[in-house]
Structure formats: structure tokens, C-alpha cells
Structure 1
Amino acid sequence: MMFLLWPDGCPRFPGAARWLTLALAIAGAWALPVAAGGAERTAFKVCADANYLPWSNDRQQGFENHIASLLAEQLNLPVEYTWFPQRMGFIRNTLRARGDDGVYRCDVVMGLPDGFELAITTDPYYRSTYALVFVEGRGLDSVRSVSDLQKLDASQRNSLRFGLAERNPGTLWLAEHGMLSRLTKAYASQHGDPNVRPGQLEQEDLLAGNIDLTFMWGPIAGHFARSNPDVPIRVIPVESEAGLQMHFAISIGVRFGEQDWKAQLQALLDANADAIEAILREHAVPLVDAEGRLL
């Protein structure tokens, strides 16, 4: 899931003592899938957006859908969804909302920024970074890293057309490197139409040649390239710089006060770290470590 309004991706090889602790924790997670109020859980109830690829959709094609199914299978529970557009009011209308029977509509948000203020979060289960994205064969094939942009001759560099969503850290990157004037088109971070997916308008403009380059959040960039196999789309993950963060950590979120549920989920994330990483890589998500270095 992308930022609302706005494990670590590395394989884990714990020692024997940690494996024993982990096994006991997971056994508890499997044996005690307990909902708020002490009732036994009857489903793995996910709060999600029905049109939010690459994260989720109502056909369960997103990588968060697949990770949710993996965790639910470990708990021997079916997956159920509460759908709501991923925008302002998402948490209020999903994780914090109750049905007519007084029961919470859903119990888990599969992707929140680590430390998100409207929920309690697990340890990060992946980290990604923003990426420079452009279509090959249009004069930029020599660009293999963001630093190569500054090696272009002045006339080409001064003719570049960037399109960026608001609050995109790529804007700060352009400013830091003397290229802010090359930002020629801006996009709203949240479109008024919930049927418009994150990054969709930038992608359409890139394909049509209306802009030359953009910075995209890594999961969106990977999905863009993966969804257009006949177009030579280059995705260049960008490392953070001093004073300019491009990478972010993503966690699972649950309601405040549900520490036991959080602990159960954490045990499942730890035990299934390799399988989760495989899902992320299948969906072409650029993965980085805690320092933002590409894995």
C-alpha cells in the first residue's frame, strides 16, 4: 500500500535459540487467533482498496493480497476484505469502523509506513525506494543511474521534461541537483476519481511521450514495467542521500491496544520472511536494506 495521505527484505537466518523462540511464538499464533473482545477469529479480515494495484484489488491480484493469503493460510483462516478507497478517511472507515453488529469490519492493514500514527505497526516487512523511470529508445539510454542525468550535455539536460506527483521526494532531488526547472508537469497525489490508480496518469504520459522521466515509489515503478512487457521501461532505484530520504519502511498495522494480535502477526512475518520476499520480487518491488542500499 502506498502512503496514506502519505521482514526487512533480507533473508533471515536466526540461530537455534531464536528458532526455538520463534517456533513457540508461531505455535501460539496458530492456536490462538483471537479477535478484539476475546472472541475467536473466524477470518483474516483485511482492510484494503479494491482498485489499488500493485498493492490490492478486488480480484486479489496485488502483492498485499498474496501476502494476506499466505498469512491467513498459516492461521487456517479464510481471507475476508472490507473495501474502501485508499484516501483520507481510510482508517476511520475500515480498521476503526464497526458493522451494525458492533463487530469491527476488518482487523489488519497490510501496508502502512513504519510507525504510522493512526495504528500500531509490526516491524517493517519490506523496505523500498523511489525510482527514476523512463522509456528507453528516446535519447536517454546512456542513463544508468541518477548521477548520469548530470553527465548529459547541457542542451539535452535543459530540455528534459519531468512529471512528478506532489509530495514526491523526487522534487527535492531535482532541487538539490539544480534541475528543478525541468519539472514541467505536476500531478495530484490523490486523484478525485477513486478508479484512477496511483501513478496511472504519470505512466500514461510517459508512454505517450508527454513527459520524459518521473520518480515513482518503487512498487509502482516495478508494477509499471511488469505490466508493459512490450515497452522498454527502465526502472532505476534511487539511493537516499544526506538530508534526502528516498527509501521507506513498510509494516502491517492493527488497532491500538491489540498488542497480542500484533505479536501474532509479527511471528508470522518472521517465519515467512523468505516467502514474503519471493512475492515482492515476483511483483518487481525494488527492495532495499535499512540504509536504503539495493538488495
Structure 2
Amino acid sequence: MSWRAGRRRTPLPHVSRTAIFLPTLAGVLACGLVALQSVEASAQASDKGALELVDPDVFRACGDPRNLPFSNEKGEGFENKLAELFANKLGKKLSYTYFPQATGFVRMTLGSYRCDIIMGFPQGDDQAQVTIPYYRTTYVMVTKRGSGLEDVTEIGDPRLKDKRIGVVAGTPPSTNMAINGLFARAKSYPLFIDTRADSSAQAMMDDLARGDIDCGILWGPMAGYYASKADPPFVVIPLIKETTGPQMTFRIGMAVRPADQELKRTLNKLIMENQQEINKLLISYNIPILDGTNTPITGETLSKRP
């Protein structure tokens, strides 16, 4: 699992006080003149976004090197493909900065100016500025066909009372499991891991395939992707009927630095203009996506939309 399932407040880097100390008045005046010239030059270039970006000709995305279905170093994740799409739309080159999505991810990517855009970020997280959402998803339950649990839609369903349930520790559904007394036979998986060496989602799916657990409760994008890889594929049930416990459905956008207003506006426009193509991309990775009424968006329903 990664930082996506939990929240961390990560401070942006600051300038050392010793770095801005000037020993003489002449130094102050010289610095002020240079700064004024720099501001004037930046203002002239601001229409192209150069005021905000390290390299305005490159779409510089931030990602995890080993965290499918989101991203990997081979460019196989849906966030990789979305970055390619947007870079092409803008006529820019694409570059990626990879860092494991654990504690320090925002600080070591956006905060360090190594890249400009985190391709997937939940709205409401205050570590960065977030665009309008490009998909809405939820935690889901995953089980085998023939388990008798295929139509369970709530964690409080009585059929789960004696089941062995897999859950990632510290995620929202673990609270609902505790409320319903389901931890006696539960199997817990770690929330914060180094994705270069481990995957809680894959471990849960492996346990389900072996019969070590009867079902798993997992973040929707990871569940949908890994469940589709099983043979036969597992059943994925969105948990959209929960009435107690914490929020389990989230809107996902892209994150930029707080100062990058023009970039945010550009991304918002791209999302609105390409939503159908984005939906098709997500569905191709078996990501469970929902509309505003919690109705699943599928390839079939997408084809019926104007």
C-alpha cells in the first residue's frame, strides 16, 4: 500500500535565514536590482506559464517507480498513460521523477521542484493544491465467485460475521470493521511500505487466491486492477452503502504546488475536455469509477452517454 490510503502533513522546503543575509548595503541594492529585472522578465513570460515552471516546455510528472496500476518506471500505469496524453495535448515533452509513495513523497517531489504534477491526489488533502477531480472511486470488497458473498454491499452484512477478512491497517474500512466486531478473524496488511519491495494489495490477492482469507477490503483502483489479474477474475463490489464510520468514497485530481495557479487552470481545462477519454483509460485498467450518484461508470454505460 502507499501514502494514497492515508494522509500525512508534509511541509514544503523553506529558505535558510543564513542564505538570505546580506552583509552590506551595496549587496542589498545589487540584489534588489537583479530581483527587479528577474520579476520583469518573469512577468513577460507569465502568459506561457514560465513564471511557475522550471521548464515550461516539459510536462514534468511525479510518480512511484513500482506502484501499479498507478505508475511504474516502465510507464505501464494509468497515471503514466494519462501524463502521456496530457503532454501530447500540450505539445510538450514528458519527463518523470520517481520516488516511493510513502512518507516524504510530496516533499521530495513537488516540494523539491523535481517535478510539477502528481498525477493522482485526493481532494481534501492539504499537502498540495488539487485540480478538479478526474475520477471518483471508493473502497471495495473483493471475493471469489461462488463464495456466497458476491452481493454483499455493506461491511455490516451479517454474512461477514464469521469470515476471514483482509484489510489494510489504518484505512477507513478498518474503522467500520471494528464497529461491526469483525477483527477477531481479520488479517491485517501494512499501510506504509516501500513499494519497490512489497505490495499489500498483491499480498491480499494472493491470500484470497489460496483461500487464506474469504474476502478482502481494499482501495478500489488497486482492487480492481489486481482482481482482474486472478484466474478466474475476482468479484469487486463497491462499498457505497456505508452509513457509519469515516468517508470511503473520494474524488481524485492532480496535485501541483500552491503557487502554480496557471498550471492548475491548464490541467482543469484538459480534464474537462478529455473526460471521456480519461474514463475509457481508467476502465481499461479495471478501475471502479463512480458518477455523482454512486452509479458505476462502465464501458457499457460510457458508450450510451452523449
The residue that corresponds to 2:24 in the other structure is none
1:221–1:262 Cα change, 3 Å: same
Map of 1:13-162 to 2, 5 A cutoff? Answer: 33-37=48-52, 41-97=56-112, 104-137=113-146, 140-141=147-148, 143-147=150-154, 150=157, 152=159, 157-162=160-165
1:259–1:164 Cα change, 3 Å: same
The superposition leaves residues 203-236 of structure 1 with CA deviations (integer Å, 9 ceiling, x where unpaired) of 22112221111111110111012222x2241111
TM-score, length-scaled by structure 2:
0.76
Map of 1:223-242 to 2, 5 A cutoff? Answer: 223-228=225-230, 230-242=231-243
Measure, in 2, the Cα distance between the counterparts of 1:232 and 1:250. Answer: 26
Percent of pairs identical after alignment?
33
Cα deviation, residue 5, structure 1: 4.1
Measure, in 2, the Cα distance between the counterparts of 1:222 and 1:66. Answer: 17
The superposition leaves residues 138-180 of structure 1 with CA deviations (integer Å, 9 ceiling, x where unpaired) of xx2353132598354xxxx54310121112222233334x342
The alignment partner of 1:116 has SS state of coil
The residue that corresponds to 1:271 in the other structure is 273
State the structure with bigger RCO (CA 8 A, min sep 6), 1 or 2. 1
The superposition leaves residues 94-139 of structure 1 with CA deviations (integer Å, 9 ceiling, x where unpaired) of 1111xxxxxx3110000111032111110111110111101224xx
The superposition leaves residues 20-50 of structure 1 with CA deviations (integer Å, 9 ceiling, x where unpaired) of xxxxxxxxxxx96524457661211001001
1:165–1:283 Cα change, 3 Å: same
Comparing 252-261 and 232-241, the one that deviates more: 232-241
1:34–1:148 Cα change, 3 Å: closer
2:87 is aligned with what amino acid? Answer: A
Q: Structure 1 runs of 4+ off > 6 angstroms?
A: none
1:264–1:209 Cα change, 3 Å: same
2:140 is aligned with what amino acid? Answer: A
Measure, in 2, the Cα distance between the counterparts of 1:67 and 1:212. Answer: 34
1:39–1:170 Cα change, 3 Å: closer
TM-score, length-scaled by structure 1:
0.79
Measure, in 2, the Cα distance between the counterparts of 1:83 and 1:241. Answer: 35
1:35–1:231 Cα change, 3 Å: farther
The RMSD of aligned alpha carbons is: 2.4
1:225–1:268 Cα change, 3 Å: same
1:262 aligns with 2:269: no
For structure 1, list consecutive stretches of 5 or more residues without a partner in the other structure: 7-30, 98-103
Measure, in 2, the Cα distance between the counterparts of 1:198 and 1:127. Answer: 22
The alignment partner of 1:146 has SS state of coil
Q: 2:65, 2:196 within 8 Å by CA — same for their partners in 1?
A: no
The residue that corresponds to 1:189 in the other structure is 191
Measure, in 1, the Cα distance between the counterparts of 2:222 and 2:145. Answer: 18
2:114 is aligned with what amino acid? Answer: R
The superposition leaves residues 228-263 of structure 1 with CA deviations (integer Å, 9 ceiling, x where unpaired) of 2x2241111110433432211111000011111100
Measure, in 2, the Cα distance between the counterparts of 1:135 and 1:275. Answer: 31
The alignment partner of 2:81 has SS state of helix
1:169 aligns with 2:172: yes
Measure, in 1, the Cα distance between the counterparts of 2:48 and 2:75. Answer: 23
1:180–1:158 Cα change, 3 Å: closer
For structure 2, list consecutive stretches of 5 or more residues without a partner in the other structure: 8-45, 298-306
Aligned residues between the structures? 257
